[in-house]
Amino acid sequence: MNILCNLKAFIARLIFLYRDWKYINLFADRDKKELDVVLALLRKNCHILDKGLHVIPFEKGHGLKTYNEALVLKKILVGTPKESDLSFRWCCDVMDLYEEAQDSELKDLNGSFHNYDDSEKQSIYDFFHSRVSCRNFNDTAIDDRTWNEIIEVASDAPNSCCRQTSRIYVVKDKTTIGRLIRDIAGATGFSNGIPYLLCVTSDVRPYACMDRMLAYIDASLFVENLVLACRANNVFTVILNFQHASEKERKDVMELLNIPSYEHVIVFIAAGRVDSVPVKPLRMHVKEFRKL
């Protein structure tokens, strides 16, 4: 009996290691030449250059290796559809500014900002606190303009070195949603069904193996902006856990939504208009969170 138990445990560990190997293999160098990845890496390098340009006082000569890497990446993208991408234009502007800064005096690039007064601050705090997880939706439709507006705000979330790897699939077909929720933990207890199901993924190719967990952090920051932008548009949400999905559940979801293998599913979010919301759970006292 002990031999059989040990054998089962050994096989379970082999399966775990194989799945981990498959995931780590997504970061292989052979995938780094695709245009989406090249642009993400160019943004990363230009983000590093941009940080240096905003340092006061600016020191010439720093970041030359990063700049040379950016030149190689930019050359790959010239003459491709990525040339029209707004982020590519930003990268070009940063590189031009970096070149100018080596030959002439760099002007202060830092801008002014708005100081919020107490009444504005309280309004913002009230808005943050008004977000609550909701599972009771009505059938009111949400147009594409609104979704695009929400996603644009979500894309403005902080992300590591400006890689911008978060992706979102907006599903509104009831049959597709019905098939998806069978594979999603927490997708039960909805009184009126789910009118919109959002799948947030992360393109893991622009990350190195050593920083692969940043894909989850970047997507989580994207999700926070997303649910707040939904609330600003009177769309309520609830985040559904997908991290303990089985291999079969993950495969079924990716096939159904046609998600490529290099995107990792982070979370699902149920969303829609509502007639009422539940009472929000009380949070712990700030002294429980603050440790210093």
pLDDT at 191: 65
pLDDT at 25: 67
Q: Give the closest residue to 140 by CA, choosing from 225, 249, 235.
A: 235
- Tokens matching residue 87: 């982020």
Q: What does R_g of the chain's alpha carbons equal in angstroms?
A: 23
pLDDT at 43: 97
Helix, strand or coil for residue 150?
Answer: helix
pLDDT at 29: 54
pLDDT at 114: 96
Cis peptide before 57 (omega within 30 of 0): yes
pLDDT at 188: 76
Amino acid at residue number 255 = E
DSSP state of 241: E
pLDDT at 24: 65
Q: In whole angstroms, how far apart are CA 281 and each of 131, 134, 231, 245?
A: 11, 12, 17, 26
Model's pTM, two decimal places?
A: 0.88
Helix, strand or coil for residue 15?
Answer: helix
pLDDT at 186: 77
Query: How big is the CA angle at 214 (ends 259 and 252), to the nearest 5 degrees?
Result: 25
pLDDT at 4: 72
**Helix (H), strand (E) at residue 202:** strand 196-203
Task: Give the pLDDT of the chain (292 residues) as one tens digit per residue.
Answer: 677 777 777 777 777 677 667 666 666 654 557 899 999 999 999 999 999 998 878 788 888 999 999 999 999 999 999 999 999 999 999 999 999 998 887 777 888 999 999 999 999 999 999 999 999 999 999 999 999 999 999 999 999 999 999 999 999 999 999 999 999 977 877 767 899 999 999 999 999 878 889 999 999 999 999 999 999 999 999 999 998 888 899 999 999 999 999 999 999 999 999 999 999 999 999 999 998 8
Helix residue spans in the chain (DSSP H): 2-24, 35-53, 64-77, 86-103, 118-130, 144-154, 174-180, 214-232, 247-256, 286-289
